[in-house]
Amino acid sequence: MLSKLIVIAIVFPALVLTACSRPEPLQTSTVAPVAAAAVPITDQTVIAETVGRATIGSDPLAWANPSTGSAGVIEQVRPDTNNPNGCRDFVTSKHSLEGVTRFNGVACPSDGSWKINGSSGLH
């Protein structure tokens, strides 16, 4: 019995150390690269594009910006009589964490999209 214990005492550590002496290749999983974060869209951009899609004198149009959480209703869209370039006057509300506000503005076509002219107080 003692001889079996001696054999186990000698062989077992040798087996454990033998297992550690052969390095196995390290296997790791691959990780897909993270896409760059999209540039947030401003409320001005969303409102201007909605005004551009609207029909003059149309019913109120809702807009929402998932980038900022703001939303509102464009209540009036009329031709801008001061600008012959297809610009449109509009009135909109804006509901945000800062509260509810109303804005009057002018949106004009510009290089295939619509932009708000001047400082309307929208961000």
- Distance (Å, rounded) from C-alpha 97 to C-alpha 119? 21
| 37 in any annotated domain | no
Tell me whether residue 5 is in a domain. no
Continuous H helices in 1-123: 2-21, 43-53
Distance in angstroms (rounded) separating the CA atoms of residues 90 and 108: 11
What percentage of residues in the chain have a pLDDT greater than 70? 71
75, two tokens: 């209540």
What's the mean pLDDT in 11-19? 58
Segment 41-99, tens digit of pLDDT: 899 999 999 999 998 888 999 999 999 999 999 999 999 888 778 999 999 999 999 99
Tell whether 59 is covered by a domain. yes
Average pLDDT over residues 92-121: 89
In a domain, residue 38? The reply is no
d(Cα 78, Cα 83) in Å, to the nearest integer?
A: 12
* 98 in a structural domain: yes
Domain count, the chain: 1
> What domain range is 72 assigned to?
43-117
> How much is the pLDDT for 89?
93
pLDDT at 53: 93
Check: pTM over 0.85? Answer yes or no. no
Q: Which residues of 26-46 are buried (b: 16+ CB within 10 A; e: fewer)?
A: eeeeeeeeeeeeeeeebbbbb
Mean pLDDT across the chain: 81
Would residue 12 count as lying in a domain?
A: no
Establish if 67 belongs to a structural domain. yes
